[in-house]
Amino acid sequence: MPVYNAPLEDIKFVLNDVLDASSLTKIEGYEEATGDLVEQILEEGAKLCENVLFPINQSGDEEGCTLKDGVVTTPKGFKEAYKEFTEGGWCGVSGDPEYGGMGLPMLVNTVMQEMICSANFSFGMYPGLSQGAYEALHHYGTDEQKQTYLPKLITGEWSGTMCLTEAHCGTDLGLMRTKAEPNGDDSFNITGSKIFISAGEHDLAENIIHLVLARLPGAPEGVKGISLFVVPKFLPEDMSRNGIECGSIEHKMGIKASSTCVMNLEEAKGWLVGAPHKGLKAMFTMMNAARLGVAMQGLGIAEVAYQNGLAYAKDRLQMRALDGAKFPDKPADPIIVHPDVRRMLLTSKAFCEGSRALSYWVGMNLDISLKHADPDERQAADDLVALLTPIVKAYQTDMGFEISSLAMQIHGGHGYIWEYGVEQYARDARIAMIYEGTNGIQALDLVGRKMGAHMGRYLRRFFHPVSEYIEANQANEKLQEFVFPLAKSFAKLQQSTAIIAQKGLKDPNEAGAASVDYLRQFALVAMGYMWIQMVEAAQKKLDEGTDNKKFYESKIKTARFFFARMLPEGDWHFKAVMSGADNLMDMTEDEF
């Protein structure tokens, strides 16, 4: 049977000792988000994830969703879990108090997303999509739309979706065909079909609020002619059925307890959100929040996979340690004594702990970008979030799948068997590399939009603090073994940046060919930057004489593994960047 225990000790270490998240209380609106309050909330959240969501994860995967007469039924236990989830106020953790939310920092929501995705990836899709709909309406909705929809989204009585993809267009939204015809009042009739709509139809909430991209009559071609509409399943004024329904549900590799729907709209009544033809801007409000959420899915699934790999490695007896029996009273040693098993476990541990710090840092800057009193501070934080969002989305989901695969490998043949649970993690993890913009698209976003934006301003938001940290700690004896490899990797990242900028101006294929390797190289440096700060925080605790010596010593040992065996991966990504585009682009299509 699979296991999951929320990593609260590690979460608290990152929030309190590494990031000093309590500094958010200095921001107006977050004054009450003290460390003690946040810890209490996360402890309650951990109980919900461990005791309510996790027990129905595997059974939900086995049962899946069913569609009958246009109605989707979720697996056994999901309705009861959703009721408990909503009654606990978890849909409104970071919601605006004006509409009934708790008003806590987005960072708290980010932490909760990790634990929810570890406990039950499929379940997390339902409130996760509602969060995206809430953000778009909160930013771009009219006062009437906000009053109508936000309170219900915050309570969870109503849920939300984002309807972008059509059968003939995914990433290239400029090809979409869904039409919106004005009714002569403030409403529109919307006709078209959308596919891959997560949580598009289900039996958990009373109403489902769809945010739909469509074209107005005479709209400009391409993405400049896309508008955003709110299309409720039931019309709020009288709760009569609207012209949007589920035509089918997908039979998927993973996240089987999450309904992925084909949604057909036949003169469905909708209302414009934001300005005409500016729907993509409003939708990207959802997308950016969603991409950080997907990054947390990568981390969440990696964490639970690691926990199961570790538990199995400590329990499974196979052969003796290479340097002699460690447990002579047993017929064989547990497999955790073997170097290759330790390599897989340490890779998993180093990733989970490093990416937790990195993604929480992004989440904290998201809060600063939204609410800090100083506009310069808001802008700096917003720039950093814009830069790092494609990096954490792509890297953490790539690694979520890899760590899930390592957990299967640790289990050997049992890892391939459903009842042990870990093969489900690999199946569930795989989608996160694809949706909300494939990871290749994230890499193109990084080199094509973020790298050159505002004459390199986004890059400077990361490069400057890293450079300053390295310079400030060169003489720190306790950090030197980490500072020097970080400095070398950072220098190569700067070199890659310069080469891509130079070559990309002459030939866009040069930037495209380098993009995926550059993103991974960037991610490893960012992880190194977070790991060295974790070492510094752990060393400070050890110097103070902590009672939890083993916890902090393990941080430093894990950091040594990361800097010795994971950070150097950036070197071959650097070499791939430097190799140029010719080795990718010279071959003609008929030579493949």
- CA distances 139 to 58, 229, 386, 556, Å, are 37, 14, 17, 42
Residues with Cβ within 8 Å of 128's Cβ and at least 6 positions away in sequence, in order, are: 113, 116, 290, 293
Phi first, then psi, for residue 332 (nearest 5°) are -160, 170
DSSP 114-165: HHHHHHHHHHHHHHHHHHHHHHHHHHH--HHHHHHHHHHHHHTSEEEEEE--
* From 114, 436, 510, 536, the catalytic residue: 436
Burial 437-451 (b: 16+ CB within 10 A, else e): bebbbbbbbbbbebb
Tokens of 487: 């400095």
| Burial class of residue 37 (count of CB atoms within 10 Å of its CB; 0-12, 13-18, 19+) | middle
Q: List alpha helices for 4-93, DSSP H.
A: 8-12, 35-48, 57-63, 78-87
- Rounded to whole angstroms, the Cα distance separating 585 from 6 reads 46
Map tokens 């494609």 to a residue: 390
Tokens of 488: 């070398």
- Rounded to whole angstroms, the Cα distance separating 95 from 102 reads 6
Centroid of chain to Cα 320: 40
Nearest to 128 by CA among 289, 342, 302: 289
314: left (phi over 0), alpha (psi -120 to 50) or beta: alpha
Note if 436 is an active site residue: yes
For residues 356, 64, 199, 390, the Cα torsion angle rounded to the nearest 10 degrees is 30
For residues 71, 430, 341, 523, the Cα torsion angle rounded to the nearest 10 degrees is -130
Q: By the 8 A CB rule, do 21 and 364 touch?
A: yes
Residues with Cβ within 8 Å of 47's Cβ and at least 6 positions away in sequence, in order, are: none
Q: By the 8 A CB rule, do 122 and 257 touch?
A: yes
- Rounded to whole angstroms, the Cα distance separating 475 from 487 reads 13
Q: Catalytic site residues?
A: 436
